[in-house]
Amino acid sequence: MKRLRHKQEIIFLFGKLFKQLRLYNKSMKLQARAQEVITLLEKEYPVFETALDWEEPWQLVAAVLLSAQTTDENINRVTKTLFKKYPTPQAIANASIKELEQDIYSTGYYKAKAKNLKGMCTALVTEHNGVVPDSLAQLITLPGVGRKTANVVLHVLHDKREGIVMDTHIARVTHRLGFTKEKHPLKGEQTMMRILPNTQWKEWGDLLIQHGRKVCHARKPHCEKCVLSDICPTGKTILKTRAKTTPHPES
Ligand code: SF4
């Protein structure tokens, strides 16, 4: 009886060890693939600067907050006038909501954005002496500031890494590359934070956002000309399907 229990314990321990080895192997493969993605995309996009125009730290927060669901070019057009009209966060805090709505109308979702912009500037002035906080925990308490905006601000303004920027482009490409089964940006962020060292968290976002905008489009990704097509599971499936459905030139 005692020998049998001993044998069962050994089998159990071996099972546990095998499982851990499999997980370790999987994680090493993901890490290696993530490094390959970075190396390939670095060659494609050697330079990255945030495309949003700003001079004062609070203006960066405002610009990122307004940038949801529209292009950086559109935001730059709007903020050029906006920051002249309201040169300080106090000025925006004092503005009427109706006027702010008109000022940012062309950015879309103008009612919610105007409310958040005024709320964010009011909180900056009343709770932070007009200074943009340098921690994720404090930043996400500002109205309209979620993890994405907070991570952009931490990376660009404070050179700090508390997370990875996961906007829709970055989340989509991360998912298509097979690093996460779930499409939710937070899941993508958590997964990549486990796979990559924090020194590469900013790089991941900078490279994937460019790739998502230029090649891996939401509706019709250009897998045929994508440098990641050899290591992208989604790309392989898409290319196979397209090859089957594209009529042969001689048929
Ligand atoms: S191969 Fe296609 S799906 Fe994969 S990253 Fe490139 S464009 Fe996106």
Q: What is the mean pLDDT of residues 27-56?
A: 90
Per-residue pLDDT for 129 more than 70?
yes
Q: 41 C-alpha to center of ligand 1: Å? A: 12
**Residue 14 domain flag:** no
Task: Kindly report, residue by residue over 96-119, the tens digit of the pLDDT.
Answer: 999 999 999 999 999 999 999 999
**Residue 193 domain flag:** yes
In this prediction, residue 207 has a pLDDT band, given cuts at 50, 70 and 90, of very high
Q: Does the Cβ of 30 fall within 6 Å of ligand 1?
A: no
Looking at residue 111, which CATH number applies to its domain?
A: 1.10.340.30
Q: 63 C-alpha to center of ligand 1: Å? A: 29
Percent share of the chain, pLDDT over 90: 79
Determine the residue type at 56: E
End-of-domain residue from the set 138, 158, 178: 158
Distance from the Cα of residue 138 to its chain's centroid: 19
**Residue 196 domain flag:** yes
Q: Are residues 140 and 202 in the same domain?
A: no
Containing 63, the helix (H) or strand (E) segment is helix 57-66
Q: Are residues 145 and 172 in the same domain?
A: no
CA–CA dist 99, 87 (Å, integer):
15
CA angle 185–191–194, rounded 5-degree value: 140
Q: Does the Cβ of 176 fall within 6 Å of ligand 1?
A: yes
Q: Does the Cβ of 234 fall within 6 Å of ligand 1?
A: yes
In this prediction, residue 146 has a pLDDT band, given cuts at 50, 70 and 90, of very high
**Residue 211 domain flag:** yes
Per-residue model confidence (pLDDT) at position 121: 98
For residue 47, give the DSSP letter: -
Per-residue model confidence (pLDDT) at position 250: 59
Q: 232 C-alpha to center of ligand 1: Å? A: 6
Per-residue pLDDT for 14 more than 90?
no
- Residues noted as catalytic: 148, 167
Q: How many domains in the chain?
A: 2
Q: Structure pTM?
A: 0.84
Percent share of the chain, pLDDT over 70: 94
Looking at residue 174, which CATH number applies to its domain?
A: 1.10.1670.10
